[in-house]
Amino acid sequence: MTLGSRRRIEESVFKVLMIGSTAVVVSSLLLILGTVIVKSLPALRLSMLFQTPKGGYYLGKEGGILNAILGSLYLAGGATLFAVAASLPVVLYLNLYARASSPLSTITRFALDVLWGVPSIVYGAFGFIVMMTLGLRASLLAGMITVGLLEIPIMARAMDEVVRLVPRPLLDASSALGATRLETALRVAVRQALPGIITAVLIAFGRGIGDAASVLFTAGFTDSVPTSLLRPAATLPLAIFFQLGSPVPEVQQRAYASAAILTLIVLAVSLASRELARRLRKHTIR
């Protein structure tokens, strides 16, 4: 009897701990979103979205962070295109051409795992070395390359997971009808895995746009909207970081507002990818 009740007590103690932990995890997201949005309200104006910093902006005068919003969108957009161009062929080759146990597949998948864990500050340092080697200065292009490299493992691993799930019989059917492997890859595998591929691309874009440490060395910062690949570009994470470091309270509040804007962009991308994936799933064969 005592043994039985002890077992029951242990069961309920752990159940309480588990529910508590889950509550902690869920509430930390709500707490972060809530705090950032509430704190940003006093400074959040439309003018922040549509103006570049004017003279004295960093002392609390007029202006906005259009330079950083556009800079981040350009930078992450370019980086994502670069990462797609690098990731999709790798994933298709791994799943449709190479044998699963070949040394090349093993090494490549392992390299992707390692790269996935490499801290973004290391990408920043590496991007800096690449930039110096190519004779570039801190610029939109150097930032795109660095963030693109950072996005490759995120995107490739996510794509690999979905392309791997394309049913074998579907691919065999395509080959049996006389399609070459390339035709099978592009018209059957990519189409079947499209919802997952799009999710992978958008996840990588979200990570790219939010990363600060990798662009610190490579993209520079400027108050104007970038007009050339070879000129420095402002980014939202750095705009937040710099504004928060200001002693002027108005500027700090704008840092909160900028953080809210970045968060909303990332959440919108994440929700859009869900919705898009759901819609595209209609066109896949189950």
Partner 1 sequence: MRQLKDLIARRAMFLMTGLPALIVLLMLAGLLRKSGPILAVHSFSSLLFGTGWHPLRGEFGFLPFLAGTLGVTLMAMVIAVPVSLLTAVYLSEYAPKLVRDVTKPVIDLLAGIPSVVFGVWGVLMVVPFVGNVVAPLFGAASSGYCVLSGGIVLAIMVFPTIIHVSLEVFGAVSQDLRDTSLALGATRWETVKHVVLRRGLPGIIAAVVLGVSRAFGETIAVLMVVGNVAKVPASPFDAAYPLPALIANNYGEMMSVPLYDSALMLAALILLLVVLAFGVGARIILVKAERKAE
Segment 70-129, which members bind partner 1 (CB under 8 A)? Answer: 86, 89-90, 92-94, 97-98, 104, 107-108, 110-115, 117-122, 124-126, 128-129
**Which of residues 140 and 156 has its CB atom nearest to partner 1 in the complex?**
156
Interface characters, 43-72, with partner 1 (x: CB under 8 A): ------------------------------
- Residues listed for the chain: 286
Q: Quick one: which segment of 47-55, 57-65, 167-175, 207-215 binds partner 1 (CB under 8 A)?
A: 207-215
Member of 63, 71, 78, 206 binding partner 1 (CB under 8 A): 206
At closest approach, how far in Å is the CB of 143 from partner 1? 14
Q: Which residues of 178-205 are buried (b: 16+ CB within 10 A; e: fewer)?
A: ebeeeebbeebbbebbbbbbbbbbbbbb
At closest approach, how far in Å is the CB of 263 from partner 1? 5
Interface characters, 171-190, with partner 1 (x: CB under 8 A): ---------xxxx-x-----
DSSP 58: G
Member of 203, 219, 233, 251 binding partner 1 (CB under 8 A): 203
Member of 159, 162, 163, 262 binding partner 1 (CB under 8 A): 262
Give 101: exposed, middle or buried? Use CB within 10 Å, 0-12, 13-18, 19+.
exposed
C-beta separation of 259 from 240 below 8 A: yes
In this structure, the number of other CB atoms found within 10 A of the CB of residue 137 comes to: 13
Which residues lie closer than 8 Å to 5 by C-beta, 6 or more apart? none
Q: Which of residues 231-250 bind partner 1 (CB under 8 A)?
A: 237, 240-241, 244
Chain-centre distance of CA 271, in angstroms? 13
Q: Which of residues 5-44 bind partner 1 (CB under 8 A)?
A: 7-8, 10-11, 14-15, 17-22, 24-26, 28-29, 31-32, 35-36, 39
In this structure, the number of other CB atoms found within 10 A of the CB of residue 7 comes to: 9
207 binds partner 1 (CB under 8 A): yes
C-beta separation of 91 from 156 below 8 A: yes
C-beta separation of 140 from 232 below 8 A: yes
C-beta separation of 214 from 123 below 8 A: yes
At closest approach, how far in Å is the CB of 177 from partner 1? 13
How far apart, in whole angstroms, are the C-alpha atoms of residue 219 and residue 208?
13
Q: Which of residues 209-228 bind partner 1 (CB under 8 A)?
A: 209-213, 216-217
At closest approach, how far in Å is the CB of 240 from partner 1? 5
Please work out the total of residues on this chain that contact partner 1, with binding judged by CB under 8 A: 84
